[in-house]
Amino acid sequence: MTGWQAIDRFLRTDPRDVGCDEAMAVLHVYVDLVAGEGTDVAGRRYPGVAAHLAACGPCTEDFHGLLEAVTRTGQTE
């Protein structure tokens, strides 16, 4: 990503985006909701977190890792 692309992405940030700190504070709840009810339900209940995950690569990686850990619990490989 070039500097201009990063600036453009930043300027197009969804105003509902709650930012990293708030998203991380409730990520475990969001993940549980996604695992149990699906992404659509979680996104409606926590639109700011959904908006943040759509824009923040590092937080999205944390989300996917936690979701995998939650959904793999109790499964054998």
In a domain, 57, yes or no: yes
- Vertex 18, ends 8 and 55: CA angle to 5°? 35
Within a domain: residue 27? Answer: yes
Report yes or no on 48 lying in a domain: yes
User: Domain total for the chain?
Assistant: 1
Query: Can you give the residue range of the structural domain that contains 55?
Result: 3-72
Q: pTM (2 decimals)? A: 0.79
CB 47 within 8 A of CB 12: no
d(CA 51, CA 13): 9
> How do residues 9-68 score in pLDDT, each as one tens digit?
677 778 899 999 999 999 999 999 999 999 999 999 999 999 999 989 999 999 999 999
13 lies in a domain? Answer: yes
Establish if 59 belongs to a structural domain.
yes
Residue 77 lies inside a defined structural domain of this protein = no
Angle, alpha carbons 19-22-23 (nearest 5°): 75
10 in a structural domain: yes
